Each structure stands twice: as structure tokens, then as C-alpha cells.
Amino acid sequence: MDLGSYFDATEGLGVLSTADRQGKVDAALYARPHFLDDKNVLFIMSDRLSHKNLQSNPNAAYLFVEKGDGYNGKRLILKKVAEEESSPSIEALRRRVTCPAEKEKRTSKSFAVKFRILQVRPLVG
């Protein structure tokens, strides 16, 4: 199964880790990546610490733990290659349907951040 199909078919919990220029690490819960092709993924990011870190350090890691028993999943080693700010295409990509009241609460900018997959590693427990 290719990675795009794997992430489309597999439920679980994802964590995106980034670091700033000085190496101070941050980790945040993130939805499954959107696959553009077999080497590039896209994450929708709010204007928060993870996104800020990527402005000075383009490297990131995404850890995905499959729903269920045990420790099955994937680790993606990533490098940011591009981003796009608040466009209609971002809303079209969102997997989670939100009610109109929740959409109105969104006051921060959103970014479609594209990453190149440098390495794929299994999750080992």
C-alpha cells in the first residue's frame, strides 16, 4: 500500500514536531497529511508556534500512531518547501466539517504548508 492510501485509510493520532533556529523543540497534534504525490505532503497550519518555527528552520518530523492496540504507525522526516496563506483551497482541503459558528471563531490566519518527504520510518515501540 502506498503512503497516500495508507493515510487515507488509517485512523490514528498524529504529532508534528518542529524546532526553532536555536533548536528549541515543539510538538503539536496534527491531522493526517494531505498527499500531493509520493514525495510531497501538505499540512494545514494555524499561525501558531509550529508554523513560526518553520520560518527559521524548515525541518520537521511527523509521528503517526494507528488507532487500536499496540504501537503501529509511521514516522515521516520532512522539509518545508513552500507555503500559501489563507486561500479558498485551504477550506476545501479540510477533512473535518465545522459548523458556521466555529468557522466564525477562526481569527488567525491559515497556511497550506508543503513538505518534501525525506525519509519514512516505521513506528517502533
Provide the sign of the torsion angle of the four alpha carbons 44, 98, 3, 30, taken in this order.
positive
Full-model pTM: 0.86
Element (H, E) at 12: strand 12-19
Q: How far is CA 48 from CA 10, 52, 54, 61, 72, in A?
A: 27, 6, 10, 17, 29
Collect all residues with Cβ–Cβ distance below 8 Å to 21 and sequence separation of at least 6: 56, 57
Q: What is the pLDDT of residues 47-95, one digit of tens each?
A: 999 999 999 999 999 999 999 998 999 999 999 999 998 766 676 666 5
